[in-house]
Structure 1
Amino acid sequence: MSELVTRVTQRLRHAYAREEDPSPVGGHAAALAAFAGYTAAWAAAVRSRGRPLPERPQPWDLALTSVATFRLSRLVSKGAVTRPLRAPFTEYGGPEGPAEVHEEPRDGATHTVGELVSCPFCLSVWTVTTLTAAGLLWPRATRTVTGALTALAGADVLQLAYSALTEKVTGGDD
């Protein structure tokens, strides 16, 4: 089976390769396989509880999970304070907004991981999967966490609005 995966990956890499897009197709295939395994593990954990899935998500839970996913993904992928988590996989590129940094994936074997941990959109898929499964297993605790992350996102909006208002009123003088 491993030999088959290697052959298919090599064919894809050759057929898909373009000079203007040096993305590692093999690394992305491995990331997809890892995500499939991650999702399967969560599904097994949820199934082992034996509780039926809800018919549909509650609108309030969707709102909390959406905002919490945004905030947590952004914090992990762009936050200045979370740079040590990304450092093995990324190279510092400079500041990028309030308390955020821009980083590029390192070359080599860790490139795909660098892409994942420095991209809030990429990380959101993993984050929402985690929060959704956690919500099925531990709804009260997960609502507490998503509520806290939503409050953090709200506080961020207020901080940015305050800074913009102060800038406009004082003309940039602190």
Structure 2
Amino acid sequence: MTEFLEKTGQEYEGDHDRPLAAYARVIGVYGAAVTAAAVAAKLTGKRPPERIGPMDLTLMAACTHKLARLLAKDPVTSPIRAPFTRYQGVSGPSELKEEPRNTIGELLSCPFCIAQWVATGYAVGLVFAPRATRLAGAAMTAVAASDWLRLAYAKLMKSVE
């Protein structure tokens, strides 16, 4: 089996260096975390919401967007990423550009990659602590809306000059 996986990895990579084994471990950790949450819910009698309404979905989407960008790009969270990334400069308003050093760095510096983990955490929060999760979601949504308004205001001010 190991030989098959190595051969498959080599054929997939070609002349490129793609860390398939590391990606498989990340997938395994994600699957284990979701499984652990499901087992904990079963053991504690917690059940997922019967349905996710439009407001919950809106909060979840905006919160996931903001928290993923905060974790992956914000200067204040750079100490979390520093062991796994290398600083490259500024990439936008209050955002850093960092080069991943390894697979964890790739996950932590990519808002698209970390968003799945954030959304899953939010969903788990709706099972175990829905009120606190909605409150945190509303706070992150307000921060996201504030960012968008600030960017729109700056653009408007440039057009007036």
CA distance in 1, matches of 2:5, 2:70: 33
Match of 1:99 in 2: 94
Residues 51-97 of structure 1: CA distance to partner in whole angstroms, max 9, x if unpaired? 44333212111110010000000000011111111011011111111
Q: TM-score, normalised by structure 2?
A: 0.93
Q: How does 1:6-155 map to 2 (within 5 A)?
A: 6-19=2-15, 21-106=16-101, 111-155=102-146
RMSD: 1.4
Residues 9 and 25 of structure 1 are in contact (CA less than 8 Å); yes or no, is this contact kept in structure 2? Answer: no
Residues 3-26 of structure 1: CA distance to partner in whole angstroms, max 9, x if unpaired? x5x44542332221222x322011
% of aligned pairs identical? 40
Residues 126-172 of structure 1: CA distance to partner in whole angstroms, max 9, x if unpaired? 001101001111000000000000000000011111111122223xx
- Return 5+ residue gaps in structure 2 as ranges: none
CA distance in 2, matches of 1:150, 1:8: 46
Residues 95 and 101 of structure 1 are in contact (CA less than 8 Å); yes or no, is this contact kept in structure 2? Answer: yes
Residues 93-129 of structure 1: CA distance to partner in whole angstroms, max 9, x if unpaired? 11111000111111xxxx1101100000110010011
CA distance in 2, matches of 1:136, 1:114: 29
- Single out whichever of 146-155 and 77-86 deviates more from structure 2: 77-86
User: SS of the residue aligned with 1:96?
Assistant: strand
CA distance in 2, matches of 1:56, 1:95: 41
Which amino acid in the other structure matches residue 15 of structure 1? E
CA distance in 2, matches of 1:133, 1:7: 37
CA distance in 2, matches of 1:129, 1:33: 15
CA distance in 2, matches of 1:75, 1:52: 29
> Residue 50 of structure 1: CA displacement?
1.3
